[in-house]
């Protein structure tokens, strides 16, 4: 995710101590494949990886877009790569047409269909339209080909003042929230794990955006009884599912500097 933040912010990043104690230390094959994908969707990106693969220096280039093709490594499904592209697509200089080839899904990453159902509605609200958004899946002998067409491009971003986001992807909507217009923005999120919290720290480091996080209090109702139970009349917490988090931040007023002014 630091590479995603680096690409959006235009800030270089150095990542050290990448699995140094593992039997197979350093970057994994699918991570190297994702770096190659970033290189294809940008212009001028420079990446330096040490011989052991345990240190990476990433200097992002201009988010160019255009037509690209990529063979995804089989250790992670297409959804892993596609989810990242969906975060970058609104900020490319040219409309993005991406053809990804690989396996479709596994137990850890969202499927292509789930991404389309969950992310496209968010993009529509983010851009104000779903015109130009398309996602197609073609089945081959042992691989799938996914074609994503993204003709929209955000210049000045705009969510409403309060948004409720889908469970999946778990936190990929956060870049769109914190890059929003310079105003107080509120989002609702289900209680998440340490991965999400770490991602919030990355947002702080790259964009100087700090989220105020509060637990959403469940609605309550007055308890009913026969008059003999102790505590009758006290408010009881309604059983309406797990805790939700209220995330509030001031957007940075991000503009699509990659898009040419016409």
Residue 203 near residue 174, CB atoms below 8 Å: yes
Residue from 182, 214, 178, 184 nearest 5 by CA: 178
Q: Which residue has the higher pLDDT, 188 or 2?
A: 2
Per-residue pLDDT band for 50 (boundaries 50, 70, 90) equals very high
Q: What homologous superfamily is domain 2-250 in, according to CATH?
A: RNA 3'-terminal phosphate cyclase domain (3.65.10.20)
Residue 62 near residue 32, CB atoms below 8 Å: no
5-14, 78-87, 156-165, range with the lowest pLDDT: 156-165
What average pLDDT does the segment 4-19 reach?
Answer: 93
Q: What is the DSSP letter of 140?
A: -
- For the chain, give the longest Cα–Cα distance: 75
Number of Cβ atoms within 10 Å of the Cβ of 80: 22
Rounded Cα distance between 227 and 225, Å, is 5
Residue from 49, 63, 60 nearest 18 by CA: 49
Decide if pLDDT at 216 tops 80.
Answer: no
Q: Which residues of 133-160 are buried (b: 16+ CB within 10 A; e: fewer)?
A: bebeeeeeeeebbbebbbebbbeebebe
Query: How do residues 116-138 score in pLDDT, each as one tens digit?
Result: 888 777 777 766 666 778 888 88
What average pLDDT does the segment 57-63 reach?
Answer: 95
Residue from 63, 44, 11, 39 nearest 260 by CA: 63
Residue 252 near residue 190, CB atoms below 8 Å: no
Average per-residue pLDDT in the chain?
Answer: 76
Query: How do residues 25-38 score in pLDDT, each as one tens digit?
Result: 999 999 999 999 99
Decide if pLDDT at 245 tops 70.
Answer: yes
What average pLDDT does the segment 165-173 reach?
Answer: 44
Q: Which residue has the higher pLDDT, 216 or 49?
A: 49
Output the six-digit token pair for 242. Answer: 């797990």
Per-residue pLDDT band for 179 (boundaries 50, 70, 90) equals low
Segment holding 220, helix H or strand E: strand 220-222
Q: What is the DSSP letter of 217?
A: P
46-50, 132-136, 149-153, 237-241, range with the lowest pLDDT: 237-241
pTM of the model: 0.74
Segment holding 203, helix H or strand E: helix 194-207
CA atoms within 13 A on the CB side of 30: 14
Report strand pairing: 96-102 vs 66-71.
Answer: parallel
Per-residue pLDDT band for 157 (boundaries 50, 70, 90) equals very low
Residue from 55, 56, 58 nearest 10 by CA: 58
Query: What's residue 88's pLDDT?
Result: 87
Per-residue pLDDT band for 22 (boundaries 50, 70, 90) equals very high
The contacts of residue 227 (CB under 8 Å, 6+ apart) are none
CA atoms within 13 A on the CB side of 148: 30
Residue corresponding to tokens 């691989």: 143
Q: Bridge-partner residues for 216, per DSSP?
A: 244
Query: What's residue 220's pLDDT?
Result: 54
Query: What's residue 51's pLDDT?
Result: 93
Query: What's residue 204's pLDDT?
Result: 84
Decide if pLDDT at 229 tops 60.
Answer: no
Q: Give CA angle at 187 (183, 189), nearest 5°.
A: 160
């Amino acid at each position: 995710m630091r590479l995603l933040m680096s690409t959006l912010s235009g800030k270089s990043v150095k990542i050290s101590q990448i699995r140094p104690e593992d039997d197979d230390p350093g970057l994994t094959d699918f991570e190297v494949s994702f770096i190659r994908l970033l290189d294809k969707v940008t212009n001028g990106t420079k990446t330096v990886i040490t011989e052991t693969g345990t240190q990476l220096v990433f200097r992002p280039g201009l988010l160019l877009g255009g037509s690209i093709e990529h063979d995804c490594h089989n250790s992670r499904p297409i959804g892993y790569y596609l989810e990242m592209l969906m975060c970058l697509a609104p900020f490319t200089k040219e409309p993005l047409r991406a053809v990804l080839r690989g396996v479709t899904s596994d137990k850890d990453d969202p499927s292509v269909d789930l991404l389309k159902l969950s992310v496209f509605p968010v993009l529509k609200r983010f851009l104000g339209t779903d015109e130009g958004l398309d996602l197609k899946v073609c089945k081959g002998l042992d691989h799938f080909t996914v074609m994503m067409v993204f003709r929209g491009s955000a210049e000045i971003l705009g969510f409403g003042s309060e948004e409720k986001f889908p469970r999946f992807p778990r936190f990929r909507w956060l870049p769109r929230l914190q890059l929003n217009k310079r105003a107080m923005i509120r989002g609702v999120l289900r209680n998440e794990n340490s991965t999400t919290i770490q991602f919030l720290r990355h947002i702080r480091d790259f964009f100087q955006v700090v989220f105020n996080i509060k637990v959403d209090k469940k609605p309550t109702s007055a308890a009913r009884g026969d008059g003999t139970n102790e505590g009758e009349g006290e408010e009881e917490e309604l059983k309406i599912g797990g805790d939700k988090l209220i995330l509030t931040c001031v957007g940075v007023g991000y503009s699509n500097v990659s898009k040419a002014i016409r």
